[in-house]
Amino acid sequence: MSPTQPDILFIMTDQQRFDTIAALGNSHIYTPNLDRLIRRGVTFSNAYATCPVCVAARYTIRTGCEPLTTRVFNNAGLKPIGGRAEKMENRCGEYLARTMSRLGYRTFGVGKFHTSPWDEDLGYEAFFRSEESYNAISRPGDDYASWLNQAHPEFSFLEQLMGERTEMYYIPQRSPLPPELGVESWVGDRVVEQIANTDNQRPFFGFVSFVGPHPPLAPPIPFNRMYDPDRLPDPILASVEHDHMDEEIPYMRYAIWADAVNLPLSRIVKARYYGEISYIDLCIGRILDAVEAGSNSQNTLICFFSDHGDLLGDHHGWQKQNFFEAACHIPLLLSWPATLPAGIIKSDLISLADLFGIATRAGGRAELREGIDVLGLVQGESTPRKSLIGVTEPPGSHDFKIMVVTDEWKYIFMANGGREQLFHRQEDPDELTNCIASASATRSNLHALAVNACRGTGALDALDGDNLRSFPFRERPRTRIYQFEQSFGVTGFPDNPKDGLKNLDPLTFKRIK
């Protein structure tokens, strides 16, 4: 390890799939700065979100603990089981930012943090928040929304700053803002300022969290027209029966209005998704330039990753919270020129929980919690995982799911109907063939690993003796998710169309406050 504490920069995107970087084999996308990071360090080709949904993944990152400890299995959150501390930090330990402050770091956080409550104290000395949606309380407290309102009041009429949601959630859009005023550019500007704010006494730990490419997919000009949809590949599809074994997928497809997306439109959606990534890539480039312009660039550890992926039409589905590769397999790039090799790819199984140990070991005092020592792994000093466990939804619930990943196989169990999937990862990377019937011995071995993972405190309700608990299959009632701008008092479509104009002056077309 370096005798001098490095500067450390974590860069996270939201809902970015593992297969969206040019240097890793996607010939359709333009990502020169992510490519630059790959050349600068180590790529982990088997990194996973063990609970692939926003809030759960973020609590795993900031605590270094897996969902069975955080007790966050979805975006709704969950109270701890009996005997466990009520507050997250009391049962998991100090959050990452507070831990890094204790190690002597100047800490800053910029971007989307998706906490519960929305204004939770995460321990950063400097904190600049830009969440993806607002209510009447959170919008005035959001640093990006406040900055835009004060610096550019001409855009104060906008309800949803990152694009329309509800029925437009997966309908391709263009940002209502120019690129220099978009949230991703604002994030980049704040990070560059913080990097320049040198402290000769302390290194910095920065956590950068971009809002995109999470939907709605509304890249600004010219990123909205970088990609010709007719040149992009179709989604990966098996039979509907195969793809929809997980009831979450058809349920969510309807809930977020993606049942309106046909095959040609899915390619247009992908084009806008790629445009969002290229926009973020350019903002990352400005951050990398700021790092490399400093005197400590060789001793700066940069870790890039996403919280989870997006089906993006694959397997007849959209969104995340399932264990197909597109939803839970994430990009993870790690560089530290003074210490780590450059331009190599490692296939070890990595969890988001491991990020805590990366930061703390680099900072001088490794605190792995429920992760493994990734820096030690790169340097041949620690043992890789043989398998990785993922869970979503509360153990013992009808919708509980568990995943076991090894180098060769992936096993998925769904309590809803006791459904199972088994994929050979090398021979079937697109997960089109379910091997449950043809590889029964492998299924039994991985099922046993899943059972064993549930024997600890917090997951016993997922068990029925020596088996995983199952329930009779049920189809969840189809309901729509409405995501209007509540800070403007809009909660849904009006019962009568004329009521949608009640706050509009018919002469000036301005909003009546």
Tokens representing 372?
A: 């493994």
The pLDDT tens digits of the residues spanning 87-143 come to 999 999 999 999 999 999 999 999 999 998 889 999 999 999 999 989 888 999 999
DSSP symbol at 496: S
Q: What per-residue confidence (pLDDT) applies to 368?
A: 97
| CATH code, 7-385 | 3.40.720.10
C-alpha Rg value of the chain to the nearest Å:
22
C-alpha–C-alpha distance, residues 323 and 320, integer Å = 8
Mean pLDDT of 391-416: 97
The pLDDT tens digits of the residues spanning 150-173 come to 999 999 999 999 999 999 999 999
The mean pLDDT value of the chain amounts to 95
Contact between 332 and 43 under an 8 Å Cβ cutoff? The reply is yes
For the cut 90, the answer to whether the pLDDT of residue 85 exceeds it is no
For the cut 80, the answer to whether the pLDDT of residue 342 exceeds it is yes
For the cut 60, the answer to whether the pLDDT of residue 1 exceeds it is no
For the cut 50, the answer to whether the pLDDT of residue 492 exceeds it is yes
How many angstroms separate the Cα of 63 from the Cα of each of 120, 130, 367? 14, 21, 11
For the cut 60, the answer to whether the pLDDT of residue 78 exceeds it is yes
Q: What per-residue confidence (pLDDT) applies to 19?
A: 98
pTM, 2 dp: 0.97
Q: What per-residue confidence (pLDDT) applies to 310?
A: 98
Q: What per-residue confidence (pLDDT) applies to 260?
A: 95
The pLDDT tens digits of the residues spanning 349-400 come to 999 999 999 999 999 999 999 999 999 999 999 999 999 999 999 999 999 9
Determine which helix (DSSP H) or strand (DSSP E) holds 150, and give its type and residue range.
Answer: helix 143-151
> Would residue 458 be called left, alpha or beta, if left means φ above 0 and alpha means ψ between -120 and 50 degrees?
left
Mean pLDDT of 193-201: 88
For the cut 50, the answer to whether the pLDDT of residue 58 exceeds it is yes
Q: How confident is the model at residue 275 (pLDDT cuts 50, 70, 90)?
A: very high
The pLDDT tens digits of the residues spanning 37-51 come to 999 999 999 999 999
For the cut 60, the answer to whether the pLDDT of residue 329 exceeds it is yes
The pLDDT tens digits of the residues spanning 414-466 come to 999 999 999 999 999 999 999 999 999 999 999 999 999 999 877 999 999 99
7-385 matches 387-476 in fold: no
Q: What per-residue confidence (pLDDT) applies to 136?
A: 85
For the cut 80, the answer to whether the pLDDT of residue 298 exceeds it is yes
For residue 229, the SS3 value is helix
Q: What per-residue confidence (pLDDT) applies to 316?
A: 98
Q: What per-residue confidence (pLDDT) applies to 82?
A: 66
Domain boundaries, the chain: 7-385, 387-476
Report cis status (omega within 30 of 0) of the bond before 216: yes
For the cut 60, the answer to whether the pLDDT of residue 501 exceeds it is yes
Could you tell me how far CA 69 lies from the centroid of its own chain? 19
Find the DSSP H helices in 317-368: 325-328, 355-362
* Range with lowest mean pLDDT among 184-193, 210-219, 451-460: 451-460
387-476 topology per CATH: Arylsulfatase, C-terminal domain (3.30.1120)
For the cut 60, the answer to whether the pLDDT of residue 3 exceeds it is no
